[in-house]
Amino acid sequence: MVVDAEQQKAHLLAQNEVEGHMFKMKDDPRITKIGKVLRKTSLDEFPQDSTNILEFIAAKQAVEELFTLLVSFGQQTNAYGAVKLDAT
């Protein structure tokens, strides 16, 4: 976006293509050339996508750690069950 994008928006409201609170234009003059490239290639969404990927990896790692803990707990309880108790 250019520096005075909000000021330009007031003048461009008549050309708004969407009803309601959203403002959208096909060839918005407020978007820089680099901004157009970022939007066409969806690179402007990269930070959000990378965050989602990292959250997925962290959740997967937490599940694997929990599974390992449960397996080791199960092995310990089997060892306790193997001891025969004598009733006297």
Closest CA to 29 of 53, 12, 43, 48: 12
Is 38 among the domain residues?
Answer: no
Is 36 among the domain residues?
Answer: no
Is 25 among the domain residues?
Answer: yes
For each of the chain's 88 residues, which pLDDT tens digit applies?
Answer: 667 777 777 777 667 666 767 766 777 777 788 888 887 887 777 788 788 888 888 888 888 888 888 888 766 666 556 666 666 6
Domain hosting residue 60, numbered range = 45-81
Per-residue HEC secondary structure of 10-25 comes to: HHHHHHCCCCCCCCCC
- d(C-alpha 59, C-alpha 51), whole Å: 12
Q: How many domains does one find in the chain?
A: 2
Is 39 among the domain residues?
Answer: no
- Asked if 55 and 45 touch (Cβ cutoff 8 Å), the reply is no
The answer to whether the pTM exceeds 0.85 is no
